[in-house]
């Protein structure tokens, strides 16, 4: 039997901010000062120090996109009496974001390992999970999400970006969509709690970007061509080289070239 989870749904309370350095920084400070707990969500119209994966900067036009962070209490993320690993949080947030985006953008949506949301070959959303530990105890996770909604022009370094408006031709109300996204994250959380990480992993792998396709990668400075196989239960990406050798890769160990 799984744990009963938390009574507070993700997205409550929901706070709208005009401008912050980073919604993740803001949310973490709220947690550290005991002003926020599990489920708290923070939506910003503008952030001037938005963070992406691997130290990259997340850029977005003011008021045009979802810039959202939610507070998650991993101490309650338990299945069959066992606490789940940090990569499960990354996975469940990615599944939640995917389910949200595909509801509007259609079945050409996928999850690019570890947790980017792609439409066709263009990036629609990015996720940054930051964890707080006290000694060996995992205290909090802050899940930051940047989802391209109404923005239609992107910088030259963002030529592969795409927004919901570009896909659908429609303009959306950002706060309403952000609250809806919280609901999808809550649903993915409950899958992890009620059905376990294997079910979540299967959902993730079903929509894995470039699964079964050959791609160009750079691993430790070496450029290779490999087939994307799946994501393993430890969160590593499994690939197969042209000569049939399967390898697994930790976050940060590979760079996508195509």
Q: Do 227 and 103 lie in a common domain? A: no
- Residue 158 vs residues 155, 163, 233: alpha-carbon distances, Å: 5, 12, 31
What's the CATH code of the domain at 248? 2.30.30
Q: Is the pLDDT of residue 111 over 80?
A: yes
Tell me the per-residue pLDDT of 216-225, one tens digit each, with 9 for 90 and over. 999 888 899 9
Q: Do 122 and 243 lie in a common domain? A: no
Q: Do 157 and 249 lie in a common domain? A: no
Domain with 221 in it: 214-256
Q: Do 95 and 199 lie in a common domain? A: yes
Q: Which residues contact 50 (CB under 8 A, 6 or more apart)?
A: 22, 23, 57, 58, 59, 60, 67, 146
Q: Do 113 and 160 lie in a common domain? A: yes
Q: Do 65 and 191 lie in a common domain? A: yes
Inside any domain, residue 201: yes
Q: Do 230 and 163 lie in a common domain? A: no
Q: Do 46 and 171 lie in a common domain? A: yes
Tell me the per-residue pLDDT of 173-223, one tens digit each, with 9 for 90 and over. 999 999 999 999 999 999 999 999 999 999 999 999 999 999 999 988 889
Place of tokens 């949200």: 100
pLDDT at position 5, please?
A: 40
The token duo for 186 is 């809550």
Q: Is the pLDDT of residue 3 over 50?
A: no
Tell me the per-residue pLDDT of 113-158, one tens digit each, with 9 for 90 and over. 999 999 999 999 999 999 999 898 899 999 999 999 999 998 765 5
pLDDT at position 156, please?
A: 63
Inside any domain, residue 1: no
Please choose, from the candidates 120, 126, 136, the residue with its C-alpha nearest in 3D space to the C-alpha of residue 86: 136
Q: Strand 14-20 vs strand 41-47: parallel, antiparallel, or unpaired?
A: parallel
pTM of the model: 0.92
- How long, in residues, is the chain? 258
Please choose, from the candidates 65, 75, 101, the residue with its C-alpha nearest in 3D space to the C-alpha of residue 185: 101
Q: Do 224 and 164 lie in a common domain? A: no
């Amino acid at each position: 039997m799984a744990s009963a989870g938390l009574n507070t749904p993700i997205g409550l309370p929901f706070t709208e901010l005009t401008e912050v350095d980073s919604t993740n920084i803001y949310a973490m400070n709220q947690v550290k000062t005991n002003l926020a707990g599990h489920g708290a969500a923070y939506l910003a119209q503008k952030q001037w120090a938005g963070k992406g994966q691997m130290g990259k900067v997340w850029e977005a036009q003011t008021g045009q996109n979802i810039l959202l962070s939610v507070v998650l209490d991993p101490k309650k993320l338990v299945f069959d009496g066992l606490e789940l690993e940090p990569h499960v949080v990354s996975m469940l947030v990615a599944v939640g974001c995917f389910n949200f985006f595909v509801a509007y953008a259609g079945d050409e949506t996928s999850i690019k390992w570890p947790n980017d949301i792609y439409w066709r070959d263009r990036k629609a959303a990015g996720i940054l999970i930051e964890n707080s530990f006290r000694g060996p105890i995992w205290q909090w996770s802050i899940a930051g999400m940047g989802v391209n909604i109404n923005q239609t022009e992107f910088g030259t370094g963002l030529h592969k970006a795409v927004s919901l408006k570009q896909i659908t031709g429609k303009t959306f109300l950002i706060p309403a969509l952000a609250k809806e996204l919280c609901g999808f994250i809550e649903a993915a959380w409950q899958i992890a709690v009620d059905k376990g990480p294997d079910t979540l992993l299967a959902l993730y792998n079903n929509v894995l970007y470039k699964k079964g396709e050959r791609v160009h990668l750079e691993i430790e400075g070496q450029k290779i061509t490999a087939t994307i196989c799946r994501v393993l239960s430890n969160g590593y990406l499994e690939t197969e080289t042209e000569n049939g050798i399967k390898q697994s890769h930790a976050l940060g160990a590979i760079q996508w070239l195509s």
